[in-house]
Chains A and B, each alone.
Chain A
Amino acid sequence: DIQMTQSPSTLSASIGDRVTITCRASQSISTWLAWYQQKPGKAPRLLIYKSSNLVNEVPSRFSGSGSGTEFTLTISSLQPDDFATYYCQEYNNYSSWTFGPGTKVEIK
């Protein structure tokens, strides 16, 4: 089974900061990686699919990159609405849809 790790687990940042979250897969998943944002009491919201494709209506300050086993989510200028927990998720095949453990972005 594919294992996913994320770093850091918690990130303290200020409004306007550039923020980068890293996700690593235990084996190559090509670009079959998604990023989600989750706020308390809500279902996860898809931000990025296939490593770097931004979902419609997601602000352009979000971007994703990577392939193989290492991926990043970048928020170019952190906004108040961005304080949340972020999860990566691999979908290399239909029998494996593993989520990472999450990165909580907190106000500094």
Chain B
Amino acid sequence: EVHLVESGGGLVQPGGSLRLSCAASGFTFSSYWMFWVRQAPGKGPEYVANINQDGSERNYVDSVKGRFTVSRDNAANSVFLQMNSLRAEDTALYYCAILRGGNFWGQGTLITVSS
């Protein structure tokens, strides 16, 4: 059974940084693109970033380009999202997900950007 477990969320001040982690199990992690999707309170889901199987290709939504970095460690079955220069509008529940070749979501980790 596929499991995706996010961690690293919390309260951070505007301009601050956080690193999210997603621990994966139950599938061959190195064979899948991995995605980060966020959902602000009361809003719909928003794709944030993805990374290919070996980490050589990474894509981002325009609003996070230059601030967020997605990475992965296939040996540890984990994907990460380094978030810098955080803004109030980054406040959301952040999901780790498989959206290609399957469709699985974690339970999400909440990021609140506020002073």
B-binding residues in A (CB < 8 A): 1, 34, 36, 38, 43-44, 46, 49, 55, 85, 87, 89, 91, 94-102
Contacts and interface: CB of A to CB of B under 8 A. Distances in A.
B33 interface: yes
27 contacts: A34-B103, A38-B45, A43-B95, A43-B97, A43-B105, A43-B107, A44-B45, A44-B105, A46-B103, A49-B103, A87-B44, A91-B99, A91-B100, A94-B52, A94-B57, A94-B59, A94-B100, A96-B47, A96-B59, A97-B50, A97-B99, A98-B47, A99-B44, A99-B45, A99-B46, A99-B47, A101-B44
A1 B62 contact: yes
A16 to B, nearest CB: 27
Closest 10 CB pairs of A and B: A43-B105, A97-B47, A46-B103, A95-B59, A102-B44, A99-B45, A99-B44, A101-B44, A87-B44, A44-B45
Contacts of B99: 91, 97
A89 B44 CA distance: 11
A15 B55 CA distance: 47
Interface string B85-105: 000000000010101100101
* A contact patch SS: loop
Nearest to B46: A99
A94 B62 CA distance: 14
Contacts of A55: 103
Interface in B41-69: 44-47, 50, 52, 57, 59, 62
Interface residues of B, number: 21
Interface of B: 33, 35, 37, 44-47, 50, 52, 57, 59, 62, 95, 97, 99-100, 103, 105-108
A91 B67 CA distance: 23
A28 B51 CA distance: 24
Contacts of A95: 59
A87 B100 CA distance: 17
